[in-house]
């Protein structure tokens, strides 16, 4: 059984690590940068950067490396490395296409991503999901990206819906904080297994039968507003 409300006005999806298997691209890039500075890269280090904007990840790495002021340079390096990795393509994660199609058949949908526009578009195109979304919002198009609520508030405003009547799907603490601050219900599939994350629904995959059934039944329950 899915604990998300059955009647909502809209669904807003994160992209990286939630809809599209791009975290592998980011991890390759991050591992290389950490190695270049003499550091290993594992779950602890990944937790420092996952879900952050490129700029925020650069600052986090600069702090970790003990190189204050190097954030912009590290961010530029990260962006170039991820761009190169993503050029090889990335697949939709299990259940993503089916969930998006089912939600779209019932309510307006959008993407709210902490990636810059060029990487967001590349990821959605590569995974074959771009045509499903008439609305998408990237980190470099708002003043305050995640964990601030602006991306989710912007998406809901564009869709003409109330955030408290909408559901966000996320994979990281940064994105969850943004969705919660905006007032949305939150479904979570963690990119880092074993992490304790705030959620209304928690699963291991978007392909979970209960979640897919929830999406097919959207609009048939009592309103949450």
**Selected catalytic residue, list 14, 21, 77, 171:** 14
User: Can 16 be counted among the known catalytic residues?
Assistant: yes
pTM comes to: 0.93
With 0-12 CB in 10 A as exposed, 13-18 as middle and 19+ as buried, what is 68? exposed
Model pLDDT for residues 2-29, shown as the tens digit of each residue: 789 989 999 999 999 999 999 999 999 9
DSSP state of 7: B
Model pLDDT for residues 102-140, shown as the tens digit of each residue: 999 999 999 999 999 999 999 999 999 999 999 999 999
Model pLDDT for residues 27-45, shown as the tens digit of each residue: 999 999 999 999 999 999 9
pLDDT at 80: 97
Confidence of residue 222 (pLDDT cuts 50, 70, 90): low
**Selected catalytic residue, list 16, 21, 77, 171:** 16
Does the pLDDT of residue 221 top 80, yes or no? no
| Strands of the sheet with 201-202, listed across from one edge | 136-137, 109-112, 10-13, 166-170, 185-188, 201-202
User: Structure tokens of 34?
Assistant: 């950490």
């Amino acid at each position: 059984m899915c604990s998300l409300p059955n009647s909502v006005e809209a669904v807003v999806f994160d992209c990286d690590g939630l809809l599209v298997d791009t975290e592998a691209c980011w991890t390759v890039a991050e591992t290389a940068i950490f190695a270049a500075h003499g550091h290993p890269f594992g779950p602890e280090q990944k937790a420092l950067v996952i879900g952050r904007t490129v700029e925020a990840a650069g600052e986090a790495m600069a702090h970790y490396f003990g190189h204050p002021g190097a954030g912009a340079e590290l961010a530029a390096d990260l962006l170039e490395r991820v761009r190169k990795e993503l050029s090889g393509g990335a697949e939709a994660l299990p259940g993503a296409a089916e969930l998006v199609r089912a939600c779209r058949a019932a309510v307006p949908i959008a993407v709210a991503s902490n990636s810059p526009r060029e990487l967001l578009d590349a990821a959605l195109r590569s995974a074959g999901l771009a045509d499903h979304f008439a609305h998408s919002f990237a980190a470099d198009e708002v003043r305050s990206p995640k964990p601030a609520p602006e991306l989710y508030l912007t998406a809901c405003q564009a869709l003409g819906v109330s955030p408290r009547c909408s559901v966000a799907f996320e994979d990281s603490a940064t994105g969850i904080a943004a969705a919660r601050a905006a007032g949305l219900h939150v479904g979570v599939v963690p990119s880092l297994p074993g992490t304790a994350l705030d959620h209304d629904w928690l699963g291991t995959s978007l392909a979970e039968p209960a979640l897919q059934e929830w999406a097919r039944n959207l609009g048939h329950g009592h309103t949450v507003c």
